[in-house]
Amino acid sequence: MSYKERKDLAGKMAKVFKTDTRMLSKEMQRILMDDLVTAFLNRLNVLTLVENSEPENDLAIRCSDDAFELIRNRSRQG
């Protein structure tokens, strides 16, 4: 995931959790959103690997202003 895509995802999460995080400073909100993006992406990777039982599958997320798109790359060597 590119830096811009990651930043976009963090921004969307910040909108969703705005009410819950308003008592935090802007810096702490930024740190929390970055942590949530990391946790979200890691969990998606794990669940996709378990679901497909193919550890060579890659997972990516593309973000637009109003949607997330899950992209699976099933590349195999051999």
Q: What is the pLDDT of residues 4-25, one digit of tens each?
A: 999 999 999 999 999 999 999 9
- What pTM did the predictor assign? 0.63
Max intra-chain CA distance, the chain = 53
Phi first, then psi: give them for residue 62, nearest 5 degrees. Answer: -105, 135
Q: What is the pLDDT of residues 48-78, one digit of tens each?
A: 887 776 555 566 677 776 666 666 665 444 3
Q: Given this model, what pLDDT does residue 72 score?
A: 65
Could you tell me the CA-to-CA distances from 5 to 1, 21, 41, 71 in Å, in that order? 6, 22, 12, 13
The residues that bridge with 53 in the sheet, in sequence order, are none
Could you tell me the CA-to-CA distances from 34 to 13, 14, 40, 75, 76 in Å, in that order? 9, 10, 10, 29, 31
